[in-house]
């Protein structure tokens, strides 16, 4: 890849200064004054506070911004020009100094007078005599050149090399490998033993060891026809339901699957298991991989011909929802964008082995991915709804069809609709909206005389608010729940003497004052009424204070002494005086209303009960398109509120053919998110990355290393393929011949010679083919945490095999932390053990389980004393070892005179071979001492075997 480079150099130029000094015009005087102003008020500040990070002398220029020349200021940094001459309000430099956009300088705000100087300087034209200097180089990505990189080249099926050693090459794959051996003049090692090969087949295909009968069956078949023995065993294992459990787990690693969110509050995902089971079933059913891609990215948008298919697809798209989202993030705009970023980055790694996240803040530094590509894809996911609103946000779910009782639900919904309809009919006459009236109430719209809080006399500190509706007039006041010294008095001159109903408006809420005494002075004296502001007044607005006689010659006084009130916030809004005639008609209306209101309350109670009886609805974690999809802006430097140009939605330009890329952007209909189109683009046979990335993952799981050893990064910072033609051959046949069938791909690889090679090699070969780049031998594989646990449980007879397990989280609560895995371990296969981001079974953690926060193509393989301590001392291993001993002794008859047959069987079950003489001697001594039927001795033997390298590693 080549970068197009443009240098913008500004050479020192004395003309400006020369001009000023020689032409003593008024204008020049003015300019001169401005230069002086710059020199005395601006330059020293820049030098002192800015140059450390924004000059050519800076150790590390920040934000691409140079402030040590006029040109640098004019060009600005990555966020655009630093100033707009004459327009301080549009000048980033000024807003940064004011700490309104950026906060500069970062350690403290400069004094106001200094900031005012900058404002004046910019207003006056930003005269800056610092000619010369240099601006930073801006590089742009050359997509055409980028396409020359190997992984962006179209996949073409290469010619299969001719075999010179026909007996060695079992499949076309071997011919590619043999050709490289010949070129480099190396010879591969011999085949592994049949005992090793059968163990290899079982572990790589189903993740469990073969039992003694399976081993001997294979060894016998191998003696007759080794090719057939492998092919038959492979077919048997590929058809086993255990296959999906093994390969589903690999895919769950690549899709960063987990059953909780992790992060701050790690929320449990109660429905994530559906995705897990869906993945396992997809592998068992050999779902074509292109279909899996479409379901993962746009499953909710795909047509379906059956309820089961619909469910499968909406579950599959849960892929987009399963990320490590911090739902607690309070800045919801930031959260929304973080989810989008996570989705783009994850898709990039899972399917394309591209680190798209690098292009979030700037063009990708290594790969030809411009920021515009990133936001073209981000636009697709901004147009996708993943979150539901809330203080702690939630995720989108979709009701499933086949797993729900459709009739029961339909009946329930119909009944609910009837209830809702009746309630709606009543609500109007009762003048009670389902929620509170949203707006301010215009006093002129109300009957009688209205006295708003603005006309009352307030003592003590009160706070104006419009936070909670409804309110009369401009707003209301509250006492911040502090009582001391607070008092309110309304003094009202009524126009006519007579009886008035007095009412006080307050909006209600549970944190309000529970008992507020209100004193009403009327013609006949005074009364005190206590109101409860937590309760809803009948018409949601006014609380009734009673009917009193008032004289027009004497002011009506209503006093609220807050000091005498009960706990809670006191709200003071308007007071209403309804003349008796008004009140009489209002009263008769209210009588009717009371009837209706009673009925309404009953109906609402029934609705509440009914809703509590909603038939349980199976829901899948999923997404859906936003109501208003659309293109989105570039976020300059990744800042979510730093919006740049709008980018039409699209995909990775470099991995698109010329017609798909820049000139003709993919057509995404305005009313769609673009996920269908993105899925089609990724799942396309012409996409140069998808098939290569996937076959490489499969190769890695079978052989121990990928043909590209960085399975999640095919870019410049990844590694080049060791066998690029073989990779292309596999990718091309996977799509064209195998029709995206994972099982056929696996079968084609395990039947090859390269799968059978021994893992031990003489030192000369290790030197000649360092790193095994030529595949002259097998990689020894360490068993993963799951394989170790499942094997132990199979050997001790505890393994609980269930095909589909459903929800395995015992006791779903809000958070995952503190989940007691050990106590709840039901001896299921490990893939079904609840997989939480903040709480994992200890054994998983100790043996490098995939970190579910990241896409993991290849797990780490550490060798730590942690593991040694776990295997030596953990109660879990001690218990499982004892169970193994008990199980073994209950299924084998101990011969006190001859321990040999038992030792052999113990070894075959555990490490798949008979013991070496050295091993046998050690164990015989132990059994002689304790007896061949000693549970303690066998516990020690099994524990030591589980801890031994031949159990932990697969040769």
Partner 1 sequence: MYATTRRSWLQTSGCGFGSLALGSMLALDSVRADSRTAQSPASLVEQQPMFPARAKRVIFIFMQGGPSQVDTFDYKPQLIARDQKTIDFVGVRTATFGKSSQRPLMKPLWKFQQHGQCGQYVSELFPEIAKHVDDLCFLKGMHTEGVAHGPSTLFLHTGATNLVRPSLGAWLMYGLGTENQNMPGFVQLQPSDTKGGPRNYSNGFLPSVCQGTAIGRANRSINDMTIAHIQNPELTPAETRERFVLTQQLNKAQLNRRHHPDDQLEAVIKSYELAWRMQAKAPAVLDLNQETAATQQMYGIGHAKTDSFGKQCLLARRLSESGVRFVQINYADESPTPRWDQHSNMPKHMDHATATDKPVAGLLADLEQRGLLEDTLVWWGGEFGRTPFSQSNNGRDHNPRGFTVFLAGGGVKKGFSYGATDEIGHEAVEGKVHMHDLHASILHALGIDHEQLTYKHAGRDFRLTDVYGRVVNQIFA
Cβ-in-10-Å burial (0-12, 13-18, 19+) of 637 comes to: middle
Tell me which long-range contacts 236-240 makes (C-beta under 8 A, separation of at least 24): 237/201, 237/202, 237/205, 237/206, 238/205, 238/743, 238/746, 238/747, 240/205, 240/206
Contact window for partner 1 (CB under 8 A) among 295-303, 417-425, 606-614, 873-881: 873-881
Of 409, 529, 799, 947, the one binding partner 1 (CB under 8 A) is: 947
Q: Is 438 an interacting residue with respect to partner 1 (CB under 8 A)? A: no
Distances (CA, A) of 95 to 89, 98, 101, 109, 116: 8, 5, 5, 11, 11
Q: What residues numbered 560-579 form the site for partner 1, per CB under 8 A?
A: none
Interatomic CA distance for residues 383 and 386, integer angstroms = 10
* Of the residues 531, 647, 679, 846, which one makes contact with partner 1 according to CB under 8 A: 846
Q: For residues 926 and 940, what is the distance between their CA atoms, to the nearest angstrom?
A: 9
Tokens of 237: 């294992």
320 lies in the site for partner 1, by CB under 8 A? no
Q: Any contact of residue 762 with partner 1 (CB under 8 A)?
A: yes
Q: Show contacts with partner 1 in window 767-806 (CB under 8 A).
A: 780
Min separation Cβ 44 and partner 1, Å? 20
Kindly state the tokens that stand for 726: 């073989």
Q: Which of residues 457-476 bind partner 1 (CB under 8 A)?
A: 461, 463-465, 467
Stretch that binds partner 1, among 32-40, 204-212, 721-729, 855-863 (CB under 8 A): 855-863
Query: HEC string of 794-841?
Result: HHCCCCECCCCCCCCCCCCCCECCCCCHHHHCCCECHHHCCCCCCCCC
Q: What is the C-alpha separation between 703 and 893, in angstroms, rounded?
A: 39
Q: Is 61 in the site for partner 1 (CB under 8 A)?
A: no
Residue among 84 and 708 whose Cβ is closer to partner 1: 708
Of 128 and 919, the one with the shorter C-beta distance to partner 1 is 919
Stretch touching partner 1 by CB under 8 A, among 143-151, 570-578, 581-589, 709-717: 709-717
139 binds partner 1 (CB under 8 A): no
Task: Determine which residue in the list 27, 406, 555, 864 makes contact with partner 1, applying CB under 8 A.
Answer: 864
- Nearer residue to partner 1 within complex by CB, 284 or 839: 839
The three-state DSSP-derived secondary structure of 532-595 is CCCCCCCCCCEEEEEEEEECCCCCEEEEEEHHHCCCCECEECCEEEEEHHHHHHHHHHHHHHHH
* Pick 325 or 932: Cβ nearer partner 1: 325
Please identify, among the stretches 138-146, 625-633, 720-728, 869-877, the one whose residues bind partner 1 according to the rule CB under 8 A. Answer: 869-877
| 940 belongs to the binding site for partner 1 (CB under 8 A) | yes
For residue 672, state whether it binds partner 1 (rule: CB under 8 A). Answer: no
Q: Of 387-416, which residues contact partner 1 (CB under 8 A)?
A: 390-391
Asked if residue 820 binds partner 1 (CB under 8 A), the reply is no
In the complex, what is the shortest distance from the CB of residue 338 to partner 1, in angstroms, rounded to a whole number? 5
Dist. CA 165–CA 158, nearest whole Å: 20
Quick check: 784 and 849 in contact, CB under 8 A?
yes
Could you tell me how many residues make up the chain? 955
Q: Determine the Cα–Cα distance for residues 857 and 696; give it in Å rounded to an integer.
A: 10
Quote the least distance from Cβ 916 to partner 1, whole Å: 5
State the Cα–Cα distance between residues 279 and 300, nearest whole angstrom.
16
Least Å distance, CB 519 to partner 1, is 26
CB 221 within 8 A of CB 213: no
Q: Using the rule CB under 8 A, is 503 a contact of partner 1?
A: no
Q: One symbol per residue from 711 to 730: x for binding partner 1 (CB under 8 A), - otherwise; what is it?
A: -xx-xxxx------------
Within 633-662, the residues that bind partner 1 by CB under 8 A are none
Among residues 5, 1, 7, the alpha carbon closest in space to that of 143 is found at 1
For partner 1, how many residues bind (rule: CB under 8 A)? Answer: 100
Is 491 or 716 the residue whose CB approaches partner 1 more closely? 716
Burial 907-920 (b: 16+ CB within 10 A, else e): bbbbbbbebeeebb
Q: Which stretch binds partner 1 (CB under 8 A): 217-225, 674-682, 840-848, 885-893?
A: 840-848
Contact residue for partner 1 among 124, 191, 217, 338 (CB under 8 A): 338
Per-residue string for binding with partner 1, 362-391, x by CB under 8 A? Answer: ---xxx----------------------xx
Q: Rounded to an integer, what distance in angstroms lies between the CA atom of residue 74 and that of residue 66?
A: 9
Instruction: Supply the minimum distance, in Å, between the C-beta of residue 938 and partner 1.
Output: 12
Residue 153: which of 697, 732, 757, 647 has the closest Cα?
732
Question: Taking a C-beta distance cutoff of 8 angstroms, is the pair 295, 335 a contact?
Answer: no
Task: Tell the smallest beta-carbon distance from residue 194 to partner 1 (Å).
Answer: 17
Give the sign of the dihedral formed by CA 82, CA 87, CA 90, CA 95: positive
CB of 323 to partner 1, least distance (A): 10
Closer to partner 1 at the Cβ: 258 or 600? Answer: 258
Give me the sign of the Cα torsion angle 476, 480, 483, 486.
Answer: negative
Residues 261-280 contacting partner 1, CB under 8 A:
262-266
Does position 329 bind partner 1 by CB under 8 A?
yes
Binding partner 1 by CB under 8 A: which of 136, 219, 480, 807?
Answer: 480
């Amino acid at each position: 890849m080549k970068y197009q480079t443009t240098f913008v150099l500004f050479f020192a130029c004395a003309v400006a200064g020369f001009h000023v000094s020689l032409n003593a015009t008024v204008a020049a005087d003015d300019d001169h004054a401005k230069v002086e102003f710059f020199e005395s008020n601006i330059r020293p500040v820049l030098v002192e506070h800015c140059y450390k990070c924004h000059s050519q002398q800076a150790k590390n220029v920040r934000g691409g911004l140079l402030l040590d020349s006029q040109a640098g200021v004019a060009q600005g940094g990555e966020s655009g020009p630093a100033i707009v001459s004459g327009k301080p309000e549009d000048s980033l430099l000024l807003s940064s100094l004011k700490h309104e956009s950026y906060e500069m300088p970062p350690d403290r705000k400069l004094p106001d007078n200094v900031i005012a100087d900058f404002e004046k300087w910019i207003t006056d034209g930003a005269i800056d005599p610092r000619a010369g200097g240099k601006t930073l180089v801006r590089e742009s990505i050359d997509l055409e050149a980028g396409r020359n990189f190997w992984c962006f080249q179209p996949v073409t099926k290469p010619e299969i090399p001719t075999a010179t050693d026909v007996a060695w090459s079992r499949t076309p794959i071997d011919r590619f490998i043999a050709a490289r051996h010949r070129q480099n003049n190396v010879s591969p090692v011999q085949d592994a033993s049949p005992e090793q090969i059968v163990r290899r087949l079982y572990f790589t295909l189903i993740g469990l060891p073969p039992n003694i009968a399976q081993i001997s069956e294979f060894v016998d078949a191998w003696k007759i026809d080794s090719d057939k023995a492998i092919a038959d065993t492979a077919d048997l294992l590929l058809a086993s339901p255990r296959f999906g459990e093994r390969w589903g787990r690999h895919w769950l690693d690549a899709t960063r699957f987990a059953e909780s969110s992790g992060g701050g509050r790690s929320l449990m995902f109660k429905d994530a298991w559906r995705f897990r089971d869906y993945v396992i079933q997809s592998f068992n059913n050999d779902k074509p991989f292109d279909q899996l891609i479409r379901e993962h990215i746009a499953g909710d948008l795909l047509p379906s011909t059956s309820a089961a298919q619909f469910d499968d697809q909406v579950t599959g798209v849960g892929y987009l929802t399963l990320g490590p989202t911090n739902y607690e993030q309070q800045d919801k705009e930031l959260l929304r964008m973080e989810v989008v970023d996570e989705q783009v980055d994850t898709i990039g790694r899972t399917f394309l082995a591209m680190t798209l996240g690098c292009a979030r803040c700037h063009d990708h530094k290594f790969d030809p991915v411009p920021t515009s590509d990133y936001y073209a894809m981000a636009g697709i996911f901004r147009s996708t709804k993943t979150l539901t609103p809330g203080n702690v946000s939630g995720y989108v779910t979709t009701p499933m069809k086949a797993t729900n009782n459709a009739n029961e639900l339909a009946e329930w919904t119909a009944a609910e609709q009837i209830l809702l309809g009746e309630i709606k009919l009543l609500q109007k006459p009762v003048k009670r909206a389902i929620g509170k009236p949203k707006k301010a109430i215009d006093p002129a719209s109300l009957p009688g005389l209205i006295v708003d809080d603005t006309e009352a006399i307030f003592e003590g500190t009160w706070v104006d608010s419009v936070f909670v509706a409804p309110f009369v007039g401009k707003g209301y006041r509250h006492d911040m729940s502090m009582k001391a010294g607070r008092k309110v008095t309304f003094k009202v001159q009524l126009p006519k003497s007579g009886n008035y109903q007095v009412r006080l408006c307050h909006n209600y809420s549970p944190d309000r004052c529970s008992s507020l005494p209100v004193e009403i002075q009327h013609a006949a004296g005074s009364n005190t009424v206590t109101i409860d502001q937590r309760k809803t007044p009948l018409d949601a607005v006014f609380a009734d204070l009673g009917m009193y006689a008032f004289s027009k010659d004497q002011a009506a006084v209503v006093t609220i002494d807050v000091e005498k009130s009960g706990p809670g916030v006191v709200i003071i809004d308007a007071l209403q005086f309804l003349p008796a005639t008004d009140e009489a008609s209002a009263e008769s209306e209210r009588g009717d209303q009371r009837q209706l209101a009673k009925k309404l309350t009953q109906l609402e109670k029934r609705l509440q009960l009914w809703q509590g009886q909603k038939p349980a609805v199976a829901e899948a974690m999923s997404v859906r398109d936003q109501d208003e999809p659309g293109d989105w802006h570039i976020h300059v430097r990744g800042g979510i509120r730093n919006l740049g140009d709008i980018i039409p939605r699209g995909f990775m330009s470099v991995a698109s053919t010329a017609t798909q890329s820049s000139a003709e952007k993919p057509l995404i209909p305005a009313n769609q998110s673009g996920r269908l189109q993105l899925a089609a683009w990724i799942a396309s046979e012409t996409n140069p990355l998808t098939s290569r990335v996937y076959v490489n993952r499969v190769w890695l799981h079978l052989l121990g290393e990928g043909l590209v050893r960085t399975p999640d990064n095919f870019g410049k910072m990844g590694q080049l393929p060791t066998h690029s033609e073989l990779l292309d051959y596999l990718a091309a046949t996977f799509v064209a011949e195998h029709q995206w069938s994972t099982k056929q791909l696996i079968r084609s690889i395990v039947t090859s010679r390269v799968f059978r090679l021994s893992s031990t090699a003489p030192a000369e070969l290790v030197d000649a083919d360092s790193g095994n780049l030529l595949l002259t031998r097998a990689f020894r594989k360490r068993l993963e945490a799951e394989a170790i646990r499942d094997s132990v449980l199979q050997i001790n007879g505890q393994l609980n095999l269930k095909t589909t397990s459903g929800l395995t989280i015992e006791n779903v609560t809000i958070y995952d932390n503190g989940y007691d895995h050990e106590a709840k371990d039901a001896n299921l296969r490990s893939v079904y053990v609840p997989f939480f981001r903040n709480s994992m079974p200890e054994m998983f953690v100790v043996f490098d389980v995939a970190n579910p926060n990241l896409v993991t193509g290849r797990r780490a393989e550490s060798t730590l004393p942690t593991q040694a301590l776990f295997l030596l001392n953990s109660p879990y291993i001690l218990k499982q070892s004892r169970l193994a001993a008990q199980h073994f002794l209950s299924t084998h008859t101990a011969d006190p005179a001859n321990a040999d047959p038992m030792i052999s069987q113990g070894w075959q079950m555990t490490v798949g071979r008979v013991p070496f003489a050295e091993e046998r001697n050690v164990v015989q001594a132990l059994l002689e001492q304790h007896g061949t039927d000693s549970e303690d001795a066998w516990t020690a033997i099994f524990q030591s075997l589980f801890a031994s390298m031949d159990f932990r590693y697969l040769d």
